Structure 1
C-alpha cells in the first residue's frame, strides 16, 4: 500500500503543501479555524503519519530534548520533570528522561547516549564529576542548562534555589518558636554537591544572625540509609537538639520514620522543618512545616533558557538564576 504523503493531505484538504506543513509545525496563527479543521480531517481520513526522520533532516532538529536528573526519587525531581515535559510539549518537543542515581559514570553514559541520538539540547542536574564532558558540550556550543546544582566556573546557564535563604526561613521559624539547639541533616556532601553545602552554610549564617553559636555536633551528613544512625548520634548528645532541619525530602522521610520508631512526639520532643514540599505534609500527624521550592517556575525558566539556545534567540545567558523559596507553616514547629 502506497505511503500517504503531505502532498496527498494537501490535495485532500484542498490547501497548499506549505499550509499543511505549517499545521504540522503548529503554526496555527497562519490559517483560519476552518482550514485547520479541513487539514485535521484529511489527516484522520487518510491516516497520515508524518515522517519524523525526514522532518528532522529538513529542519536540522529532532524536536527532542534530554533531561538527566541526579536522583529521580526526589519529589523535586519529579515535579521538575513534569513541568519541563509540559513546557516542551506545548512547543512541539518530546523529552527523554534519564536518572543518573548521583553516579558520575552513569551520568556520562546518559549524556553521551543523548548526544548520539542527536537531541537538540539537555537539561542536567549535574553530579559535578564530569567537568571535561561539560566543557566539551560548552565548546561544541551544544545547548545545555544546569538545574538545581551550580558549577559556576563553567559559565553554563543554571537555574536553582536560593538555598541560603531556604535554610534561613527554617532557622528563623525555629528561633521564633523559642528553639536554640537546632540541628541540620542533609544527604551526603561527597563531591561537594552545591545545594547541600549551601543549605548548611545558610543554616550557619542564620544561627549567627540570631547570636546562636554554631555547634558542629548538630551538623550531620550521610547517605539515606545512614540517616537513622546520625539521628541516634544527635539524641545521644549531652544536649540533644530541640529542633531538626531536614535538608531535603529524602532526609525528612528518614527523620519521620525515626521519630515514629522511637515514639518521639513532634513538636513536643523535637520540632521538625523539611526543605522540599512533600505530598503528605498537610495530612501527616502532625502536619509538617516545609520550605517549598518553586518547582514549576524553575522548570519553566530552565526550559526557556534551553529553547532560546536551541533556537539561537536572544543574548547568550550563562548566569546562575536563583529563585526564592517560601515557608509553608504547619504544626511540626
Structure 2
C-alpha cells in the first residue's frame, strides 16, 4: 500500500509539498505541481489516512451544519450549497437535523467536538442558548445563519458570525412587487410560531404597505403547524391556509407567503377552491427553491444569493479556525425578486 513518501517520490516533490495538498494548502502552489501530485496519488491508488491526520492536527477536515429539518426545501438547498462550497476546500459536511430542539442541538455539538469538527454553521436557531457559548469556549467556531443576532453590546459579546439574507428587504420586495402589479388588498401568510427571520419578513411587508398608503391592520394570516415551527409541514399548512385567505371578504388580490414551500401549498389550496392564480389572486413566495419554477403557475419568489452566502460561510469558518482571534461580524445579503407566472 502506497504512503505519502511514495507519492512524493513518484511526483518528484517533497513530502511536505504533498502534505500541503492533503491539508488544503495548495493555493500558493503551481498548477503543474498540483496536477503532478494528484496524478501520482491516482496512479498509486493512494488514500490519505484521515484518522492519522486528525490525531496530528486535533481536527477533522469536516465542518458541521445544523438545520431544523432537511425535509424543508429551503434547508435542503442550503445543505447542497454548503456541501459544494466545502468540497472546494476538500472538506466534508456533517449534517444534523435538530428539529429546533435544545437537546438535539446540544448533542450534535458534543458529537461534532468529539469527531474533531471545529467549525459549525447553525441555521435558524437562537444562539443565545448557553450551550452554544460553552462550545465556543471550547474552541468551536460557529456561524449563525438566517437568525440575526441582537444588536449593541449583546451582539458584541457573542462569539459567533451572523450571516443572513436581509429578511426585512425580502418581505418589502415581495409586497412591493404585488403593489407595483396593481394589488391593493394584500395579506401575509405564515406559520404562527415566531422566529427572528419571520418577524423581519413581516416587518418589511408591513413597511411596504405603509409606504404605499395601504391598510396594515389584520394583514397577517397565521396557522399553527403540528410541530413546533412547522419546518416539516409547510406545504400542507399552506394548502390549509388557503381557506383562511378566502374567508376574507372581499378576497385578497395579493398574498405573500413566508416561504416557497408554504406558497406552493397555498397555490394548491386555491386551485382546489377554483380560484385562478394569478387571475383572481397573485402569490409571491420567499426563498426561490428549485421546485418554484417547475409548478404551474411558476411561483414568483424573492431569492437569496445562496451560493455566495454558503461560500462566505465556509471560507469564514476555515479562516477563523486558523485565526480564532478574528472578531465576529454580521453579514447581510440583499435578495432579488424572480418574476414568474403567479403574479398578474
Report TM bin, short chain.
0.7 to 0.9
The whole-number CA distance in structure 1 between the counterparts of 2:22 and 2:292 is 43
Question: Of the candidates 275, 291, 298, which is equivalent to residue 264 of structure 1?
Answer: 275
Which position in structure 2 is the counterpart of 1:33? 32
Please tell me whether Structure 1 or Structure 2 has the larger radius of gyration of its CA atoms.
1
Determine whether 1:288 maps to 2:299.
Answer: yes
How many residue pairs end up in the alignment? 327
Compare 133-142 and 268-277 and name the one that shifted more: 133-142
The whole-number CA distance in structure 1 between the counterparts of 2:7 and 2:169 is 56
The whole-number CA distance in structure 1 between the counterparts of 2:257 and 2:34 is 56
| Kept after mapping to 1: 8 A contact 2:148/2:164 | yes
Question: Of the candidates 290, 294, 312, which is equivalent to residue 323 of structure 2?
Answer: 312
The whole-number CA distance in structure 2 between the counterparts of 1:133 and 1:63 is 23
| Kept after mapping to 2: 8 A contact 1:266/1:332 | yes
Which position in structure 1 is the counterpart of 2:245? 234
Task: Give the TM-score taking structure 1 as reference length.
Answer: 0.88
Per-residue CA deviation, residues 162-204 of structure 1 (Å, 9 max, x unaligned), is: 1111111121121122222111112232xx3111111111111
Structure 2 unaligned residues grouped into runs of 5+: 226-233
The whole-number CA distance in structure 2 between the counterparts of 1:47 and 1:65 is 26
Which position in structure 1 is the counterpart of 2:17? 19
Which position in structure 1 is the counterpart of 2:196? 194
Q: CA deviation at 1:119?
A: 0.3
Compare 152-161 and 301-310 and name the one that shifted more: 152-161
Q: How does 1:1-333 map to 2 (within 5 A)?
A: 4-28=2-26, 29-30=28-29, 33=32, 36-37=35-36, 39-128=37-126, 131-152=129-150, 153=154, 155=158, 156-189=160-193, 192-216=194-218, 218-223=220-225, 224=234, 225-312=236-323, 315-317=326-328, 319-333=329-343
The whole-number CA distance in structure 2 between the counterparts of 1:46 and 1:228 is 56
The whole-number CA distance in structure 2 between the counterparts of 1:27 and 1:142 is 21
1:92 partner SS: coil
Per-residue CA deviation, residues 6-60 of structure 1 (Å, 9 max, x unaligned), is: 23444455543223323433544446726852x4454345433322122222233
The whole-number CA distance in structure 2 between the counterparts of 1:183 and 1:275 is 14
The whole-number CA distance in structure 1 between the counterparts of 2:280 and 2:290 is 24
The whole-number CA distance in structure 1 between the counterparts of 2:279 and 2:254 is 10
RMSD after superposition: 2.5
The whole-number CA distance in structure 1 between the counterparts of 2:185 and 2:288 is 24
| Kept after mapping to 1: 8 A contact 2:83/2:92 | yes
| Kept after mapping to 2: 8 A contact 1:207/1:213 | yes
2:326 partner SS: coil
